[in-house]
Amino acid sequence: MTIHREGYTILSVSAITMIALNAIIYYASGSIFTSVVVFCVVLYLLFLQFFRYPERDLTIGSNLVVAPADGKVVVIEEVYESEYFKDKRLQVSIFMSPINVHANWYPIAGLIKYVAYHKGKYLVAWHPKASTENERSTIVIQKDDGREILLRQVAGALAKRIVYYPHQNDKVRQCGEMGFIKFGSRVDLYFPIGTKITAQIGQKTKGGVSVIAEM
């Protein structure tokens, strides 16, 4: 188990701030010093688990779509995708709780055809309008056969920063690092109609490992 690079700054600043706070309280009001230390230790351990980055035996397969995130499948439905495809697609959404690993992985290998970042609100992740109104990124990957899938990192009420690494025309490998949602939320995937979805509502996924579709 290692710490993801996106956590280095936050963890360093948090450690320095907590040490300074505890030093001040120790000299100013020793009576609450122990309570503050315990609180800071617990909070810092939570930060550590937010930014953990586990080693995994990744799933690779040219016809497989691998889960881009840890979490639980909360949506499988046919919807109209209005940003890029502008037609009907199969949507699969994975909700990431605060206790999940928050790194994101590429579900397939291919060419990055489109990347966009949108500022927005911070509605709870399961809100019907979260995919179109919250802070989000949109990434489209094209397979060698020309078929495309769209991924959308969606911020929630707790998540306040989305990080994504691809640029348009990048070639990416399956299960490579796609990005990070700081403190979690959800990832939506949009597939061509007719795609074989193997995931089920309520299924727990492991990013880079669980297979959610075949195409």
Kindly list the catalytic residues. 185
Provide the token pair at 75: 């949506």
- The per-residue b/e assignment along 87-106, b for 16 or more CB within 10 angstroms, e otherwise, is eebbbbbbbbeeebbbbbbb
Residues in CB range of 61: below 8 A, 6 or more apart: 174, 211
End-to-end CA distance of the chain: 32
Q: Rounded distance, CA 127 to CA 133, Å?
A: 10
Of 58, 68, 59, 10, nearest in space to 190 by CA = 68
